[in-house]
A and B are shown apart, each in its own frame.
Chain A
């Protein structure tokens, strides 16, 4: 398959990934990603329908632990690195913009 990496697509991916890319970054990434994607697309050459996918190198399923309270972090420990906190909570700016 041929990649179709365009500046608009890269800008859209930046929105999805929550990274405010500058125009200069968008331009640079567009060129680099096109080269990378063209190269890595070769995986589809051998990934035929009869090959099962492997998500995890050593198969494991249903890893349980006893249902008891573990050694958890305290509230102070959880908040110690918060850029802003108040009343035992993380504090952030507005969740919704004006147009919403």
Chain B
């Protein structure tokens, strides 16, 4: 084939695989070659699967034998390192888990394997998913393919950069306060946080259990929907997973791409999310996307969400509190790092191990969470934060009584420079102002590219939010918005990303 297989969407690749025009081995090799060529600069991957071609060959054999295979069978998949895998190390970006081999697969990994997806490797992330830039990875930052001096977002910067740099068509991510959607925003890609409980968290190394959710990362809305169809559904291993049948998200995306659903759609815009605090180029891109929707017959409705401004504060109490409890399992006894303390007790060993094994941001949040949960402060901090959660849910309920979806810019700024915010934790936390409310309330959210900021030429995302369990609505609306934008641009946004220098010379031409 003369076509560069890494430039295809998962849906396009899937149809070539199903007709036999392309083999999974060819598709997988093309992506491994691409990783080889560009990942030295991008550093999206912490580990590349040495057995990926064997897995691909097995899919090809099964296809040749006439086995019934899923739509994504043979398509390569990148997996965020927060998800445990039996055949590759799982570190969650932390030294304390360096080299850890899980005795079991995360449920989403099990389901992806069963669907015939080919695991390419494990993607980089902020340590234990704490961060908005991947700069808190113990194994060095990932770089944004649009500008290698800039952050790819976080915590799932590795998964977003992998799809943006055409190293994988699909990736799995996790989103606790925006870790799927904010990286999508800064890399010109698509990321979806499902309804809380819509996807199993079994085998996802827990950060904040009442906020964490696993979801798809891709270059198109349809591709995310296809992967979401694979991973969704109840799992007896995760008692918070919802026992309900989900509609086909891919069908919703395909239907949405016709644009019919946009006519009469009521899109809420939050009046308290002011233009101030948002980069002008981000606001302008957002307004332009809304104008396109309006031109298609959507109705833009101003809504009020007065408690969203307390979301970041509530989040940075609830998350550290839950994380300080979840991360107590790294005790130097059962798995992970152990630092020897000659003559010391098990508690001395534990304290020395956790000092050596955790990075600065993880320690900061564990100490903050320990403080928020300590006697005398619990009601004022953790208790109050949980009340804010109720108020934010009420804001959503009130809004969704008058609109079908809410739209926001996915994040306040485009990709900032590596190192720019690393010494100012509070500024880093404020990156998540638009994404956090969805995690606090459990509702689904999707970020899709809305264009390039006119002030710095970097990607901007638009986020849509829907009521809990209405994930399909986001694929319908997202695909409609995407179709309008791609038509206006004359092609996908990522076609405008600068070519990456490859390890074997200049990119482009026949590969």
Contacts and interface: CB of A to CB of B under 8 A. Distances in A.
Nearest to A42: B313
Contacts of A10: 367
Contacts of B337: 83
B278 interface: no
Given A58-B468, A90-B333, A36 B368 contact: yes
Contact of B389 (A5, A29, A54): A54
Given A81-B101, A83-B338, A96-B345, A58 B196 contact: yes
Interface in B424-477: 425-426, 429, 439-443, 468
A88 interface: no
Contacts of A86: none
B505 interface: no
A77 interface: yes
Nearest to A76: B103
Interface in A1-42: 1, 5, 9-10, 13-22, 25, 29, 32-33, 35-37, 39-42
B196 A43 contact: no
B29 to A, nearest CB: 32
Contacts of B341: 93
Contacts of A35: 425-426
Nearest 4 A-B pairs (CB), nearest first? A57-B442, A47-B384, A83-B338, A81-B335
Interface stretch (B16-24, B46-54, B165-173, B352-360): B352-360
A32 B442 contact: no
Nearest to B314: A43
Q: Is the interface of A mostly helix, strand, loop or mixed?
A: loop
A96 B348 CA distance: 10
Interface stretch (B57-65, B181-189, B235-243, B400-408): B235-243
A13 B324 CA distance: 11
B360 to A, nearest CB: 8
B381 A43 contact: yes
A23 to B, nearest CB: 12
A29 B334 contact: no
Interface string B335-367: 111100100111111111011001000011011
Given A14-B367, A46-B391, A20 B351 contact: yes
Interface string B307-320: 10010111011000
